[in-house]
């Protein structure tokens, strides 16, 4: 079964509030079996518009990643991010 990945591109506008979101999101990721593969770090824009924070989280499957995103745990964390960062998130299925 192919793995599922949540890919986020983020521009943090309130670092203090974002830290609270990140703490709660990290706990939700752990609780739902996710593995952060990328969280910030060095990047280079090759095409398109970049955001300075990039995150990739791996899950056992597309469905598990989707369950994480729509869980009460993550939605509670997400509420802390709203208005404190601009974010694009996508859910993708990995290669089989």
Q: What is the CATH number of the domain that holds 16?
A: 3.30.70.100
With a CB cutoff of 8 Å and minimum separation 6, the contacts of 73 are 24, 27, 28, 31, 32
On whether residue 32 sits in a domain, the answer given is yes
On whether residue 88 sits in a domain, the answer given is no
Strand partners, 91: 6
- Quick one: pLDDT at residue 25? 97
Name the residue range of residue 5's domain: 1-47+61-81
| Local structure of 63: helix, strand or coil | helix
Q: For 5-57, how does the pLDDT look when each residue is reduced to its tens digit (9 = 90+)? A: 999 999 999 999 999 999 999 999 999 999 999 999 999 999 999 999 999 99
- Joined tokens for residue 8: 């986020």
Residue carrying the six token digits 């060095």: 42
- Over range 52-63, report the average pLDDT: 97
């Amino acid at each position: 079964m192919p793995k599922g990945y949540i890919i986020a591109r983020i521009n943090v506008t309130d670092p203090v509030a974002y830290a609270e979101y990140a703490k709660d999101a990290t706990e939700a990721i752990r609780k739902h079996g996710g593995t952060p593969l990328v969280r910030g770090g060095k990047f280079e824009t090759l095409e398109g518009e970049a955001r300075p924070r990039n995150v990739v989280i791996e899950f056992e499957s597309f469905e598990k990643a989707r369950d994480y995103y729509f869980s009460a745990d993550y939605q509670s964390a997400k509420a802390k991010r709203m208005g404190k960062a601009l974010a694009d998130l996508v859910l993708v299925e990995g290669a089989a």
